[in-house]
A and B are shown apart, each in its own frame.
Chain A
Amino acid sequence: MTLLFTNARLINPEAGTDQMGALLVKNGRITEVLSEGAQPEQLFRARNIEPASASVVDCGGKCLAPGLIDIGVKICEPGERHKESYKSAGLAAAAGGVTTIVTRPDTTPAIDSPETLEFVTRRAQADAPVNVLPMAALTKGREGREMTEIGFLLDAGAVAFTDCDHVVTNTKVFSRALTYAKSCGALVIAHPQEPGLSAGAAATSGKFAALRGLPSVSPMAERMGLDRDIALLEMTGAKYHADQITTARALPALERAKNNGLDITAGTSIHHLTLNELDVADYRTFFKVKPPLRSEEDRLAVVEAVRTGLIDIISSMHTPQDEESKRLPFEEAAAGAVALETLLPAALRLYHAELLDLPTLFRAMTYNPAQRLGLASGRIAAGAPADLVLFDPDAPFVMDRFKLHSKSQNTPFDTQRMQGKVLATYVSGEPVFRRD
Chain B
Amino acid sequence: MSFDHRHLLGIETLKPHEITAILDLADSYVELNRRPEKHSDALAGLTQINMFFENSTRTQASFEIAGKRLGADVMNMAMQASSIKKGETLIDTAMTLNAMHPDLLVVRHPHSGAVDLLSQKVNCAVLNAGDGRHEHPTQALLDALTIRRAKGRLHRLNIAICGDIAHSRVARSNLILLGKMENRIRLIGPPTLVPGQFAEFGAEIYDDMREGLKDVDVVMMLRLQKERMDGGFIPSEREYYHRFGLDAEKLAQAKPDAIVMHPGPMNRGVEIDGTIADDINRSVIQEQVEMGVAVRMAAMDLLAQNLRKSRMEATG
Residues in A lying within 8 Å of B, measured CB to CB: 200, 205-207, 209-214, 282-283, 324, 327-332
Q: A205-B195, A327-B91 are in contact. Are A212 and B200 (CB under 8 A)?
A: no
Instruction: Indicate if the CB atoms of B116 and A213 lie closer than 8 Å.
Output: no
Instruction: Indicate if the CB atoms of A213 and B134 lie closer than 8 Å.
Output: yes
Question: Nearest residue in B to A205 (C-beta to C-beta)?
Answer: B197
With A210-B172, A214-B133, A327-B91 given, can you name 18 additional A-B contacts, CB distance below 8 Å?
Answer: A200-B230, A205-B197, A210-B200, A211-B172, A211-B201, A213-B112, A213-B132, A214-B113, A283-B113, A324-B89, A327-B117, A328-B90, A329-B90, A329-B109, A329-B112, A329-B114, A329-B132, A331-B113
Specify which of A200, A205, A211, A327 lies most central, judged by the most chain B CB atoms within 10 Å of its CB.
Answer: A211
Which of B112, B116, B200 is close to A331, meaning CB atoms less than 8 Å apart? B112
User: Which B188-215 residues have C-beta < 8 A from chain A?
Assistant: 195, 197-198, 200-201
The total of Cβ contacts below 8 Å across the A-B interface reads: 64
Q: Roughly how many angstroms separate A200 CA and B133 CA in the complex, as a whole number?
A: 14
Q: Please indicate the chain B residues that have their CB under 8 angstroms from the CB of A282 in the complex.
A: 113, 116
Instruction: Indicate if the CB atoms of A331 and B132 lie closer than 8 Å.
Output: yes
Q: Please indicate the chain B residues that have their CB under 8 angstroms from the CB of A200 in the complex.
A: 230
Q: Please indicate the chain A residues that have their CB under 8 angstroms from the CB of B91 in the complex.
A: 327
Q: Please indicate the chain A residues that have their CB under 8 angstroms from the CB of B271 in the complex.
A: none
Q: Please indicate the chain B residues that have their CB under 8 angstroms from the CB of A329 in the complex.
A: 90, 109, 111-114, 117, 132
Q: A329-B113, A331-B111 are in contact. Are A213 and B169 (CB under 8 A)?
A: yes
Instruction: Indicate if the CB atoms of B200 and A207 lie closer than 8 Å.
Output: yes
Task: Provide 16 A-B residue pairs closer than 8 Å at the C-beta atoms, listed in order of the A residue.
Answer: A206-B197, A207-B200, A207-B201, A210-B198, A212-B134, A213-B133, A213-B172, A214-B134, A282-B116, A327-B117, A328-B89, A328-B117, A329-B90, A329-B109, A329-B132, A332-B111
User: Is B135 at the interface (CB under 8 A from chain A)?
Assistant: yes
Which of B117, B197, B200, B201 is close to A283, meaning CB atoms less than 8 Å apart? B117
User: Is B12 at the interface (CB under 8 A from chain A)?
Assistant: yes
Q: Please indicate the chain B residues that have their CB under 8 angstroms from the CB of A206 in the complex.
A: 197, 200
Q: Roughly how many angstroms separate A331 CA and B110 CA in the complex, as a whole number?
A: 10
Q: A213-B133, A213-B134, A324-B89 are in contact. Are A207 and B197 (CB under 8 A)?
A: yes
B86 CB, nearest partner CB in chain A, Å: 16
Q: Roughly how many angstroms separate A210 CA and B113 CA in the complex, as a whole number?
A: 13
User: Which B107-147 residues have C-beta < 8 A from chain A?
Assistant: 109, 111-114, 116-117, 131-135
Q: Please indicate the chain B residues that have their CB under 8 angstroms from the CB of A328 in the complex.
A: 89-90, 117
B75 CB, nearest partner CB in chain A, Å: 23
Q: Roughly how many angstroms separate A212 CA and B176 CA in the complex, as a whole number?
A: 12
B219 CB, nearest partner CB in chain A, Å: 22
Q: A210-B195, A211-B172, A213-B134 are in contact. Are A330 and B111 (CB under 8 A)?
A: yes
Q: Please indicate the chain B residues that have their CB under 8 angstroms from the CB of A332 in the complex.
A: 111
